[in-house]
Amino acid sequence: MTFEIIIAVIFATVAFWAGVAVWKAFHRGFIVPEGYAGLLYRKGKFVELLVPGRHVRWGRFWTLDAADTRKAYLPVAAQELLTADNIGVKVTLTVAYQVTDPVKAAHATQRWHDDIYTAAQVALRAVVGATPSDALLAQRVDIAAQLLARVQPQTAAVGVTVHAVEIKDVMLPGDLKRAFADVLKAKQEGQAALERARGESAALRNLANAARVLEGNPALMNLRVLQSLSAAQNAGSTLVLGVPGGLVPLKNGNGRRPDSTDTDAT
């Protein structure tokens, strides 16, 4: 009886470990992180797209590739280009993209990063070549929209959506920089001269209005003199006052009429 029990235990142990070996050989667990998509293959053939989470498959020869589906940015190095007016410039771009079809991105092209880069380069050359240099500096938003419209159809063919194409820098030749700086300086100086002329005209109009008011009311000159004296006293300044010829004398405070003595003295 004891021998039979031992044999049974041995067979059970062997069966258990054989089951564990089979389970390890045919059980495959996969974990797809958040922000990624899992491309499941068996014997090198694509089977299905896995969402983030844990997945279990039975059998052998399973493999998994993870595709990053988060939004990212691709810098495009400075490109030496000629504008419509034959000015040599260097332009750098930043492309905001996202893999929206991981299956197509993995199978339709070898390197979809290179496809995005090449599409941005070709679009930049076409748009800059048809744009004058001054418009290239002043209309960056419109030019970026043109670049986006050219790049999107090409990247969509490889499963990538381009959200934005932004012009990062526009580098001009040194002599052209100085020319633009001189033009800007001239514009600013002209604007400043115009503002000074407007201010002087407004000041002259105010003086002319004040002169007309004083001409019609000579007594206002006395009030203006008193205001000047009060302001000088508050500021602690010394004021040298010359009495203007048009000053209207103030009446005597007691309101006394001149008597005969005054008249005789006069």
Average pLDDT estimate for 244-261? 51
What does the pLDDT look like over 206-244, one tens digit per residue? 777 777 776 767 666 666 666 666 766 666 666 565 655
Alpha-carbon distance of 91 to 129, in angstroms, equals 12
Cβ-contact 99, 71 below 8 angstroms:
no
Q: Are strands 72-82 and 62-68 parallel, antiparallel or unpaired?
A: unpaired
DSSP-assigned letters across all residues of 10-46: HHHHHHHHHHHHHHHHHEEEEEEPTTEEEEEEETTEE
**Residue 242: other Cβ atoms inside 10 A:** 5
User: Domain ranges in the chain?
Assistant: 23-68, 72-172, 180-224
Alpha-carbon distance of 120 to 114, in angstroms, equals 10
- Which residue has better confidence, 53 or 184? 53
Alpha-carbon distance of 117 to 36, in angstroms, equals 22
Ramachandran angles phi, psi of 90, nearest 5°: -120, 130
- CATH topology for 72-172? Tetrahydropterin Synthase; Chain A (3.30.479)
3-state secondary structure of 215: helix
Indicate whether 175 pLDDT > 50. Answer: yes
